[in-house]
Structure 1
Amino acid sequence: KKVVGVTDFDTYPKEVKNVEKIGGMEFNTEKIISLNPDLVLAHASSMQSAEEGLKQLKGAGITVVTVNDAASFEEAYRSIEMIGKAAGAEDQAASLVKSMKSDLADIKEKAAAISKADQKKVFVEVSPAPDIYTTGKGTFMDEMLEAIHAENAASAQKGWAKITEEAIVKL
């Protein structure tokens, strides 16, 4: 209820479809300022392209918090706690993290029953052709696959890796 603007790419929760759109990687600084936010959450992955716009927001007296590019469950928990603190919702953030940790423990317990013979090999496409990207080691998605005892087909890659259709077929 307190969110006054979201990017063009935000789809969750479903209520964001009724929230003012402020652009994507190229965001509309004037529009953001006109919405009079108390807080702007920026993502670490867009810092270089957004640097000038974020300076303008800070110059307008708006608090800007940069959220890290979480590459693990632990980093995601820290991000949630940081956002909770910045938004004055520390108790809600702590409750969410506790619930997520409990859910993950339940999933890992169920996954422990999966034998090596029953383990699935999974390919994750995070960006479609013509520039196909997948998730390799050191990513949050790779950690999720490990948690459910699935084998990441692209585990020889590191980070977010560009891959060809031919290489996918070989995997």
Structure 2
Amino acid sequence: MNKMMYIIVAFILVLAACGTNGEEQEQDNAHELGTTDEVSYTVKDARGVDLTFEEPPETIISILPSNTEIVFELGQGEKVIGVSDTDVYPEAVQNIEVVAEYQNINVERMLELDPDIIFGFDYGNDEMAPLEEVGLPVYAIDGASSMEDIFSDIQGIADALAISEDGEALVTDMQDELEEIADTVAEVDERSIYFEISPSPDIWTLGTGTFQHEMIEAAGLHNVFDDVENWFGVSDEQVIERNPELIFTTVHYTDGDPLEEIRNRAGWESIDAIVNNELELMPPDIMDRPGPRIVEAVRTLAETAYPNLF
């Protein structure tokens, strides 16, 4: 029996075994793969809230930039009809109506737009309650503290849009690229880094339990504050004592040059990074947002720290 005949016979046997449930099983499988637009399905968001759809959403509002980037990276950007005022990427968001500003979600306008789904957030303060009280369908994610959380958010959003396979493919591509970067920096003499996310006088950095810390490690770098958890404030003395080889910052909202401000801090002139002029202003949109561009962020960190390897 040739290969094609074997496949045909096997397929007939499978259909026979399924009996009258064959069509239902085929529809179920199609939904699991994110390819159906005929079968209702239910997804659960980060709060444990279930949302049921009779068909995949065709109109989307996203009020968190990282969610918006995920939706576009999944190829669903043309469905987005509303965003927040902090959305800047991709460029297409500039042509989409702003329906949410900082601490001001325009519930009335969202009701008028009547989206099939709203991708929102849950930071433990019941932020999405005003939307749900008027019957709007909200899928919320919580704050990502690891790369795995980001992968989970991507998959969850893909599931909600009934494109599960696309979510799996995107996550796999990201993981593959991260492995390539890891291989490139595997043999480096690890350099130490202080990563600043808030400027003087209230200096803040990050430690373990943050996705940025994992990005730093993935780039072959040593975070000088890896003995502290989460995002936290530090003193001048603490940074001086840890004497990092590199100082990277995402601060971009201060007057003047943020790197020059760091160079001129009292006592910091003795830090190796200052002595050797190893200070870098990093792009905040890719460094601070838990979305698909974290791979670009890791590559940027690694290329900046080890330019001879790339």
* TM interval, short-chain normalised: 0.7 to 0.9
Alignment of 1:10-159 (within 5 A): 10-21=87-98, 22-45=100-123, 47-48=124-125, 50=127, 54-115=128-189, 119-159=190-230
- Equivalent residues of 1:108, 1:148 under 8 A apart: yes
Pair 1:167 & 2:167 matched = no
Question: TM-score scaled to structure 2, two decimals?
Answer: 0.49
Structure 1 residue runs of 5 or longer lacking an equivalent are none
Task: Provide the identity percentage.
Answer: 30
AA of the residue aligned to 2:218: A
AA of the residue aligned to 1:60: V
- Equivalent residues of 1:25, 1:49 under 8 A apart: no
Instruction: Assess, with a 3 A threshold, how the Cα gap between structure 1 residues 156 and 42 changes in structure 2: closer, same or farther.
Output: same
Offset, 1:61: 2.7
Q: Give CA-to-partner distance per residue, 1:41-68, whole Å, 9 cap, x none.
A: 12233x4162xxx223223332111112
Structure 2 residue runs of 5 or longer lacking an equivalent are 1-77, 243-310
Offset, 1:83: 0.7
Between the aligned partners of 1:9 and 1:55, the Cα distance in structure 2 is 21
- Equivalent residues of 1:122, 1:153 under 8 A apart: yes
Between the aligned partners of 2:179 and 2:171, the Cα distance in structure 1 is 12
SS of 1:127's equivalent?
A: coil
Instruction: Assess, with a 3 A threshold, how the Cα gap between structure 1 residues 130 and 12 changes in structure 2: closer, same or farther.
Output: farther
| Regions of 4+ moved over 6 Å | none
SS of 1:123's equivalent?
A: strand
SS of 2:205's equivalent?
A: strand
Between the aligned partners of 2:135 and 2:193, the Cα distance in structure 1 is 46
Between the aligned partners of 1:165 and 1:14, the Cα distance in structure 2 is 38
Greater Rg by CA: 2
Question: TM-score scaled to structure 1, two decimals?
Answer: 0.85
